Structure 1
Amino acid sequence: MEQTNKMEQYELGYHIRPPHGLLNDPNGLVYYKGIYHVFYQWNQTDTTHQSKSWGHMTTKDFIRWETHQPALEPIDWYDRDGCYSGSAVVFEEKMYVFYTGNVRGKNGERKSYQCLAISEDGIHFEKKGPVLEHPIKGYTAHVRDPKVWQGKDGNWWMILGAQKEETLTGDALMYQSTNLIDWSLTGSLMDEPLSLGYMWECPDVLRFDDKDVFAFSPQGLTAEGEKYNNIYQSGYFTGELCDNGKFIRDHQPFKELDYGFEFYAPQTFKDTGGRTILYAWVGVMEPKLEAAVPTRKSGWLHALSIPREVTYEKGKLIQYPIAETTHLRETKSVVSKSIQDESFTLSSLQQDILVEWDAAATDFIIYLRNEIEINYQASNKKITVVRTNWLTNVKEERTTFLTQDLMELRLLIESSMVEIFLNKGEEVFTLRYFTSEMNHSFNFKYLNRKVEKTITGYTLRSFIVKDKS
């Protein structure tokens, strides 16, 4: 976010990043008293995964933002080693924030406490301490990331990511409450036995008119061809959440939410207009790769994705930048309608570029800054994104397949991040990249048969940020 006139080489203008230190999971996403609140895991003093607080930003329009003092700090016996991830709800005009208090013993053993804090103004929070007992019989201390929502009958539900003690496999636990204070365990979210990684983090339940979705971030999946190629994954099952808190999944496999390199720990919330909005951490990576991220030299690390509206269509989740993203557009940087290859220079490294076809796209490759490659094969609707690993300097790629002909591709570009939306969000790729070149080139090249396309580019402004801390 631009706070001076001079942008750093890898600075981010319209993505949330920490003012200093390390950012990870989005937390407590909520619309409260006319304001959107975005919290995030924040190590204020270092770019390591230690001593997490809750960073806090607010906005009314997703363009102008205010930063506030951390909402939660790890200063109490039940969260002294970190105020870990959680969620927020509004009840009786108060904001109720639930989070995991992390405590480590002298020998490194972990204890987890599910904690509550309450705010009457959205800025100042009074901790109430743990609301759930631990340990839970049959589970390890890896129980965390409470997501809370109100059911159709007015009662409250909490879902927690967990790890079974006997099998060391992931699970999700469900709790119910009438008052947000007293909680009773109803059991596992699914009775169906699943072996899908060793831990399920950041569980979430999305409810649409005709379908329910269980989204979560399993750790420990083995790569299968084009799937599961990151250190950890984020994805979902579709199905039905029953009144007893059990989720009956459809006969569809686990579906990844994003096929890029760093997307992780997504969380959703609903605004008063009924939109389901998602943020994610960008993001999770191998420790050695994380240690080599160049922004650490400037004292900050990681960012959040652009907010995305999530809808359900024909068996899958669709993700697309929320409408307010278009308000970041300042000027049209390029407009071209032709059947030819295209080459142009980006007017800045904050761009929104839309490529549209009247008929189905044919084979092409896009080169962005001589660093990112986007390759499409029309015969099997295969899309591949390539970047250079900044630690090894070796090219690496991620791939998925569309179910429909490619008709639209949208790129949200920053100096060190790209989010790629295909067919208005049928599939998404999110990634960081770091190049020392000041190259601003954008090249579109057909690989065989050429068809008419329209390329429209917009220069985007940076967030306007006021520090109220």
Structure 2
Amino acid sequence: MTEKESILISQAHEEVAKHKETVEADPHRLQFHLMSPVGLINDPNGWIQWNGTYHMFYQWNPFKPGHGAKFWGHYTSTDLVHWTHEPIALAPSEWYEKNGCYSGSAVDLDGKLTLFYTGNVKDEEGNRESYQCIAQSQDGITFEKQGPVIDTLPSGYTAHFRDPKVWKHDGVWYLIIGAQTEDLQGHALLYRSNDGRAWTNLGPIAGSGLAPLQQFGFMWECPDVFTLGEKEVMIVSPQGLEPEGMHNHNTYQAGYFVGELDYDLPKFHHGAFDELDRGFEFYAPQTTEDESGRRIMVGWMGVPDQQEDQHPSVKNQWIHCLTIPRELQLKGDRLIQKPVEELQQMRHNEVMHEEATIEGHTELNGVSGDVVELELSDFGSAPAFFEIDFRQEARLVFDRESRVLTLERKNFADRLTEKRQCHLEELQSLRIFMDTSSLEIFVNGGEDVFTSRYFPEPTENRISFTSSEQTTLNVKKWELRG
């Protein structure tokens, strides 16, 4: 460890200690989601199961609840429920990363846990340079930086060139990276390497202005390519999409394409883009394949440049969190998201109402709380209107006539009601994870998901149901302990 790195890590520890009491006293601090100990957390990084242990790194600014020169924080777990906060993995100490260790991924390279990440550099005038770097660890905890392995930009691209995701295919290493052309088109570029160190640029495999897409964003962040069944999936976070119908209403989006990656051309032949999440806060997700063969995704429960300074937690020196881990499955060309089965370990004190009758405004005995899981299933006659109210701060509404499912909440800044929506032919089931200040709503077995922050009064724990007509359903509720 260099002297500068040691100083930066010490300064980060000082920030944690200085604000520890304030942060931990915040009633909106989450109970079973990964957060930074102080300051801002954003993209999940280096998501991997290595030698039986899950490693989740994350973008972190310890010095303020806002963006800046990012560190890599680090959690580990053996069961996706109980997490240990490890020492800081990366601090922006070297010339090639002095303005931030930006996002990236992790692989096993030569038997070592190897981090690929973007080193961000800016001069006094704000001009940017970017370098794709590696750091390696024998024990999965202490990392030795080895500097840039890609230090030149491809011709025709700006220095908005970041977020390397690395994988192996047929014995060859590949790296996909988010990029911006000089005429401000977002692309995803593919690189190839035999040893994970010397990389050859194969060119863009998908992006704005590349068939079949027309104009499709000025920057593509955090691309991720993987195989599910017989198809390939590309997850990406394009910036600059215009709202269209019920889609693209967050400042920036996170979504996916399904298709086939031709490694020889190279070209990703794909269908239409679909958002991964219908809620207010979801961005920059990353996936890994674990040792049991599951493809597991975790996202950032936040969106850049979207009223971040208005979050109530900012005054208590912290902001944002990561989502729960979700197993991905492919149904046709649609990604299905399901909470990983290990999360059932968090359940305590089950309350069950079989064939509960809902008519008008109804509260069910024992169905309340701030850190709970709800399961609703076996709806009887479908009402014209069905609503769940979450702690007087948010509500989920299904309108049978319009076939629309709506999540509403009170805006952080002006307290006016805002909404996100999706088309839904039929409401069959809901699985809802509620934390002190978050909602993750899985609709019809994970065919649609709404992920959002919300900030109810800490003493308000009521969960209620409203139906326009008498209907029956099964309701299960558990308290959750992370």
TM superposition score normalised by structure 1: 0.93
Q: Paired residue for 1:397, among 419, 425, 431?
A: 419
Matching residue within 378, 382, 393 for 1:371: 393
Q: 1 or 2, which has the higher helix percentage?
A: 2
Q: Does 1:157 align with 2:177?
A: no
- After superposition, the Cα gap between the structure-2 partners of 1:267 and 1:361, relative to the gap in structure 1 and judged at 3 Å, is farther
Q: How does 1:175-214 map to 2 (within 5 A)?
A: 175-190=191-206, 192=211, 194-214=214-234
Could you tell me which amino acid in structure 2 is paired with residue 237 of structure 1? Answer: F
Q: Give the Å deviation of 1:414.
A: 1.1
Q: Which residue of 30, 33, 56 corresponds with 1:15?
A: 33
Q: CA deviation at 1:248?
A: 3.6
The one-letter code sitting in structure 1 at the alignment partner of 2:173 is W
| Conserved? CA contact 1:230–1:285, under 8 Å | no
Residue of 12, 28, 53 corresponding to 2:46: 28
Q: CA deviation at 1:30?
A: 0.5
**Aligned equivalent of 2:377:** 356
* Pair 1:410 & 2:431 matched: yes
**In the alignment, is residue 454 of structure 1 matched against residue 474 of structure 2?**
yes
Question: Size of the alignment, in residue pairs?
Answer: 453
Q: 2:155 aligns with which of 137, 148, 151?
A: 137
**What 5-or-longer segments of structure 2 have no aligned partner?**
1-19
CA pair 286-219 structure 1, distance change in 2 beyond 3 A: same
Separation in 2, partners of 1:15, 1:284: 17
Q: TM-score, normalised by structure 2?
A: 0.91
Q: Kindly report which structure 2 residues correspond to 1:262-301, keeping only aligned pairs within 5 A, or say none.
A: 262-286=281-305, 289-301=307-319
CA-to-aligned-CA distance 1:224-252 (integer Å, 9 cap, x gap): 121100000000111001132634434x4
User: Conserved in 2, the CA contact under 8 Å of 1:417 and 1:431?
Assistant: yes
Deviation at 1:392, TM superposition (A): 1.1
Quick check: 7-16 or 323-332, which moved more?
7-16
The Cα shift of 1:334 comes to: 4.5
Query: Are 1:360 and 1:405, in contact at CA under 8 Å, matched by a contact in 2?
Result: no
Q: Do structure 1's residue 232 and structure 2's residue 252 form an aligned pair?
A: yes
Specify whether residues 80 and 360 from structure 1 end up closer, same or farther in structure 2 by C-alpha distance, changes over 3 A only. farther
Matches within 5 A, 1:25-64: 25-64=43-82
3-state secondary structure, aligned to 1:171? strand
Query: Higher relative CO (CA 8 A, sep ≥ 6), structure 1 or 2?
Result: 1
Counterparts of residues 316-327 of structure 1 (less than 5 Å): 316-327=334-345
Structure 2: distance between partners of 1:174 and 1:381: 40
- Equivalent position of 1:218 in the other structure: 238
SS in structure 2 of the partner of residue 202 of structure 1: strand
| Aligned match for 2:407, one of 364, 385, 403 | 385
**240-249 or 81-90: which moved more?**
240-249
Q: In the alignment, which residue of structure 2 is the partner of 1:439?
A: 460
Distance in 1 (CA, whole Å) between partners of 2:279 and 2:197 is 39
8 A contact 1:222–1:228 mirrored in 2: yes
In structure 1, the residue matched to 2:13 is none
1:171 equivalent among 162, 187, 192? 187
**Post-superposition CA distance 1:49-91 (Å, at most 9, x none):** 1110000000001222111111111000000110000000113
Change (3 A) 1:214 1:114: same
Bigger shift: 373-382 or 96-105?
373-382
1:41-120 to 2 correspondences below 5 Å: 41-120=59-138
Following superposition, the deviation at residue 278 of structure 1 comes to: 0.4
Question: 1:154 & 1:393 partners in 2: Cα distance?
Answer: 54
Q: 1:346 to 1:45 in 2, by over 3 A?
A: farther
The 2-side partners of 1:245 and 1:370 are apart by 54
Cα deviation for residue 285 of structure 1 reads: 4.8
Q: Partners in 1 of 2:261 and 2:269 — Cα distance?
A: 9
| SS of aligned partner of 1:297 | helix
Q: What percentage of aligned pairs have identical amino acids?
A: 40
Q: Which amino acid aligns with 2:456?
A: T
Partner Cα separation in structure 1 for residue 269 and residue 348 of structure 2: 44
After superposition, the C-alpha distances for 1:129-175 in whole angstroms (9 at most, x for unaligned) are 00012232110110000000011x1101100000011x211001100
Contact kept, 8 Å, 1:46 with 1:299, in 2: the verdict is yes
Equivalent-residue separation in structure 2 for 1:163 and 1:245 (angstroms): 21
| Residues 64, 184 of structure 1: alpha-carbon distance in 2 compared, 3 angstrom cutoff | same
Output the CA distance in 1 between the equivalents of 2:111 and 2:410: 49
How many angstroms apart in 2 are the aligned matches of 1:459 and 1:247?
A: 47
SS in 1 for 2:97: coil
Is the CA contact 2:130–2:151 (under 8 Å) kept in the aligned structure 1? no
Question: Could you tell me whether the CA contact under 8 Å between 1:175 and 1:183 is conserved in 2?
Answer: yes
